[in-house]
């Protein structure tokens, strides 16, 4: 298949992506409910198959199977908070000692689950405004599909490269390669009005502790001044606590 020969007009892209959305929502209870935290690899597998049929006539899956002897695999990541998706060409040694390759597409369920809902700012993925998490999931999947298509056709893929941008624009109408999904850090900052560097208090084994937020990931890392803790670069001693963000209360600086 000549990937660079594809020039989908906007109506074709709109019709194709709507068909994928309708079929995916129809077939998956989780996607229908919009429960992206519960998304499973089989939801991604289904969506990929729909895209492959709709936009590539089944070439992606077929070519991947020819090359590796394996179907493309899928993974849902609850931990990816920076990348929205990831396409990788992976391998492991088989029982005969030979390398066995496969392609894998992973999507962050976490970013999809935290980026939408009441009060959330507008989110663009691949340059396109996403009204809901399903739209964002589709744009992420399309981006990873372009990586896979490039890999299958040329043996390498970089979204910073010109060829990638040309294909993403012609096949899916993407105008950018980045996403603006809302990280847990941003979400926490908005929802709970807490941010790195801020003083917070929280309950720990029946005591109320006060400290400063050092980092926000799945939980916030809060440094509480404690003579028994290790010395930090500011010369003071702290103990580190990992606290779920919703348990933090803004506090004033401790004197
Ligand atoms: Zn990329």
Sign of CA dihedral 62, 67, 71, 72: negative
Between 19 and 182, the more confident residue is 19
Distance (angstroms) between ligand 1 centre and the Cα of 115 equals 19
**Model confidence over 34-51: pLDDT tens digits?**
899 899 999 999 999 999
**Model confidence over 123-173: pLDDT tens digits?**
999 999 999 999 999 999 999 999 999 999 999 999 999 999 999 999 999
Any idea which residue has 């309708």 for tokens? 22
Distance (angstroms) between ligand 1 centre and the Cα of 178 equals 8
Q: How much is the pTM? A: 0.78
Q: Which two tokens stand for residue 47?
A: 């969506």
Sign of CA dihedral 163, 155, 69, 141: negative
- Running DSSP on this structure, what letter comes out for residue 139? H
Distance (angstroms) between ligand 1 centre and the Cα of 72 equals 17
Write down the domain spans for the chain.
3-182, 187-250
Residue environment code for 34-55, b if the CB has 16+ CB neighbours within 10 A, otherwise e? bebeebeeebbebbbbbbbbbb
Q: What is 187-250's CATH number?
A: 2.30.30.140
* 148 contact partners, CB below 8 Å, separation of at least 6: 60, 64, 72, 87, 103, 105, 157
List phi, psi (to 5°) of 70.
-130, 150
In whole angstroms, give the CA distance from residue 88 to residue 58.
20
């Amino acid at each position: 298949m000549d990937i660079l020969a594809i020039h989908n007009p906007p109506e074709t892209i709109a019709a194709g992506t709507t068909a994928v959305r309708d079929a995916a929502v129809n077939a998956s209870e989780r996607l229908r409910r919009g429960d992206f935290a519960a998304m499973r690899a089989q939801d991604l597998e289904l969506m990929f198959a729909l895209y492959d049929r709709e936009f590539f006539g089944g070439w992606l899956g077929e070519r991947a199977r020819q090359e590796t002897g394996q179907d493309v695999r899928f993974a849902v990541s609850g931990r990816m908070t920076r990348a929205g998706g990831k396409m990788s060409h992976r391998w492991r040694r088989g029982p005969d000692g030979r390398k066995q390759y496969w392609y894998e597409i992973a999507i962050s369920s976490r970013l999809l689950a935290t980026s939408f809902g009441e009060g959330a700012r507008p989110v663009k993925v691949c340059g396109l405004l996403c009204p809901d998490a399903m739209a964002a999931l589709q744009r992420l999947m399309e981006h990873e599909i372009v990586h896979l298509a490039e890999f299958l056709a040329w043996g390498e893929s970089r979204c910073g490269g010109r060829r990638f941008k040309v294909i993403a624009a012609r096949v899916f109408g993407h105008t950018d390669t980045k996403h603006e999904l809302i990280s847990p850090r941003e979400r926490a900052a908005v929802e709970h009005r807490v941010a790195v560097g801020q003083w917070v208090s929280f309950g720990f084994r029946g005591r109320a502790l006060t400290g400063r937020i050092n980092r926000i990931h799945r939980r916030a890392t809060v440094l509480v001044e404690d003579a028994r803790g290790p010395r930090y670069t500011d010369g003071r001693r702290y103990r580190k606590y990992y606290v779920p963000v919703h348990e933090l209360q803004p506090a004033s600086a401790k004197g």
